[in-house]
Amino acid sequence: MKLKLGYQDLIARAMAEIETVPVIEAQKLLDDQDTVFVDIRDIRELEREGMIPSALHAPRGMLEFWVDPESPYYKPIFGEGKRLVLYCASAWRSALATKALQDMGVPRICHLEGGFSAWKKAEMPVAEKHSKPHSG
């Protein structure tokens, strides 16, 4: 089966329309109270690899629902007008997610060049993500 658009086409289209922040620039935003890093990876990735310190975990599958004030899953952090820096492992999912949120009208949104892999390779700070304790 030949698709009309493959994943590489989708990523390329998204990259042409979104802001990409290099790791070195992103590091300068770590202590910026007006910036929120948003980790869209699966929880197992966070627990295995760690995450950017103080990042908000917003799973890719829930992102549009968490951002939309009309959604029952809305998270107020997304309505505060802060700059959002999305990231995933290698900047593919974050490119698509940034484009989707930008299309929804979310202002001040960008994504991290190279994703968390590039962040770690540049030896930037990494925080541990602890799994939630199981009850019962």
- Hey, what are 104's tokens? 């929804």
Provide the pLDDT for residue 7.
Answer: 95
pTM of the shown model: 0.93
Collect all residues with Cβ–Cβ distance below 8 Å to 95 and sequence separation of at least 6: 11, 14, 15, 18, 20, 111
The ranges assigned to domains in the chain are 19-121
Q: Which neighbouring-strand residues pair with 87? A: 39
Segment 86-117, tens digit of pLDDT? 999 999 999 999 999 999 999 999 999 999 99
Residues 19-121, CATH architecture: 3-Layer(aba) Sandwich (3.40)
Q: Tell me what the mean pLDDT of segment 63-91 comes to.
A: 97
Torsion sign over Cα 83, 87, 91, 93: negative
For residues 96 and 101, give the distance between their C-alpha atoms in angstroms, rounded to a whole number: 9
pLDDT of res. 22: 98
* Average pLDDT over every residue of 28-39: 97
Cα separation, 114 vs 91, in Å, equals 5
What is the Cα–Cα distance from 12 to 9, expressed in whole angstroms? 5
Whether 134 has a pLDDT exceeding 60, the answer reads no
